[in-house]
């Protein structure tokens, strides 16, 4: 069995998939330099060089700069990820999808399980959604089981509800988060000025992992309990971190 973890940006691996970090044979970071942010890009490169993750693969693709340039009142998924409202950014974003397929294909060949972002991109970063779409496209070709976790946010709740009826997973399990490892990686990112999330983030005791096997009956998300990523950004907690899709 060969397990890969594929995330859009450095620090996504410990925020959204810490429960599988210790068992992953390789961790693939897709995007490197940030669009028109040379200082932040340099900090990120230094942080990645300091990571002590086994089997680390840094694809170093340049970010598209689209981030949240999405009509979240009416989000529309596309073959390249999600519809982007900025025309110039859209061209970079769509070009990155092709680059992702080319770069990921040899890294995921032979893998039995690949974990990545969920279909709505956790809190709604367009490149999270794009990476999920790229990995899902390669699943058909390479035959691995696709896995993802159950984080969501107010921004992505409408898209998650829209996808709730779609058959997207064949099995699920509760998995304890690896808080010691996640906090260790957070300290590395913070030391180099490359941590992109709240300093007060609370890792939950467990996250739910969904698996989409190449074959087998698939289920929808109606009735599933998701973790509110934004509610986990604050301490003490100011709102419930669990939300049920209906």
pLDDT of 194 reads: 98
Overall number of domains in the chain:
1
C-alpha–C-alpha distance, residues 119 and 82, integer Å: 10
pLDDT of 112 reads: 98
Say whether pTM exceeds 0.95.
yes
Q: The tokens of 80 are what?
A: 């390249």
Q: The tokens of 10 are what?
A: 């450095």
Distance of CA 233 to the CA centre of its chain: 17
Angstrom distances, CA of residue 27 to CA of 12, 116, 192, 218, 228: 11, 10, 20, 26, 24
Q: Nearest CA to 148 among 165, 172, 179? A: 172
pLDDT of 244 reads: 87
CATH of the domain at 165: 3.40.50
Using CA of residue 181, residue 184, residue 190, residue 191, what is the dihedral sign?
negative
pLDDT of 233 reads: 85
| Domain range for 105 | 3-244
Query: Tens place of pLDDT for every residue, the chain, 246 residues?
Result: 999 999 999 999 999 999 999 999 999 999 999 999 999 999 999 999 999 998 999 999 999 999 999 999 999 999 999 999 999 999 999 999 999 999 999 999 999 999 999 999 999 999 999 999 999 999 999 999 999 999 999 999 999 999 999 999 999 999 999 999 999 999 999 999 999 999 999 999 999 999 999 999 999 999 999 999 998 987 666 667 888 876
């Amino acid at each position: 069995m060969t397990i890969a973890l594929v995330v859009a940006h450095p620090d996504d691996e410990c925020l959204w998939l810490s429960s599988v970090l210790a068992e992953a044979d390789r961790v693939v970071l897709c995007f490197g330099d940030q669009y028109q942010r040379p200082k932040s890009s340099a900090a990120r490169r230094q942080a990645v060089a300091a990571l002590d993750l086994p089997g680390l693969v840094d694809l170093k693709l340049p970010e598209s700069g689209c981030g949240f340039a999405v009509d979240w009142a009416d989000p529309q998924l596309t073959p390249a990820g999600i519809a982007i409202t900025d025309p110039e950014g859209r061209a970079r974003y769509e070009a990155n999808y092709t680059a992702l397929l080319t770069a990921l294909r040899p890294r995921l060949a032979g893998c039995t399980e690949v974990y990545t972002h969920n279909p709505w991109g956790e809190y709604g970063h367009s490149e999270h959604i794009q990476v999920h779409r790229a990995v899902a496209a390669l699943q058909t070709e390479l035959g691995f089981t696709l896995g993802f976790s159950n984080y969501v946010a107010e921004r992505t709740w409408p898209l998650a509800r829209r996808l709730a009826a779609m058959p997207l997973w064949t099995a699920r399990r509760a998995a304890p988060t690896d808080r010691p490892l996640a906090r260790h990686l957070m300290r590395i990112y913070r030391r180099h000025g490359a941590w992109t999330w709240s300093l007060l983030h609370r890792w939950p005791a467990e996250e739910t992992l969904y698996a989409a096997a190449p074959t087998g009956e698939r289920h929808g998300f109606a009735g599933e309990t998701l973790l509110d990523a934004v509610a986990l950004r604050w301490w003490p907690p100011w709102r419930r971190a669990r939300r049920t899709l209906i």
